[in-house]
Amino acid sequence: MTINDKVDGTRVIPFTPYVAHLLAALPRRNDLVFSSTASKSGTIVIPRNPHNEACLVAGIDGLTIHGLRRSFRSLTEWLEYLLALSLN
């Protein structure tokens, strides 16, 4: 997965085959997995609203976008570590 990064410009994060399978199976309105029907660009502009809706549906209380980002960062650092180990 390639994401925009405000420090390096872009960052490539390795997926496990399982995560790639899960993302590929998600429904789409356009070529984006996480899209918006409310914005002109078709992308989510304010992620807080769909994040809060998803947390409500999932029964998750108190998960902030910042907390989710920190968890994602920890997971990707762990994956980068495992990838480095496998290359050695």
Structure token digits, residue 1: 């997965």
State phi, psi for 77 to the nearest 5 degrees. -65, -40
- Which range has the top average pLDDT, 13-17, 22-26, 30-34, 53-57? 53-57
Helix axes 48-58, 65-87, angle to 10 degrees: 80
Reported confidence tier of residue 58, pLDDT bands at 50, 70, 90: very high
- Which range has the top average pLDDT, 2-6, 60-64, 78-82? 60-64
Enter the pTM of the model.
Answer: 0.47
What are 6-17's pLDDT values in tens digits?
Answer: 777 888 878 888
| Count of CA atoms in the C-beta half-sphere (13 A) of 60 | 11
Q: What is the DSSP string of 38-70?
A: SSTTSB-S-THHHHHHHHHHHT--S--HHHHHH
Reported confidence tier of residue 57, pLDDT bands at 50, 70, 90: very high
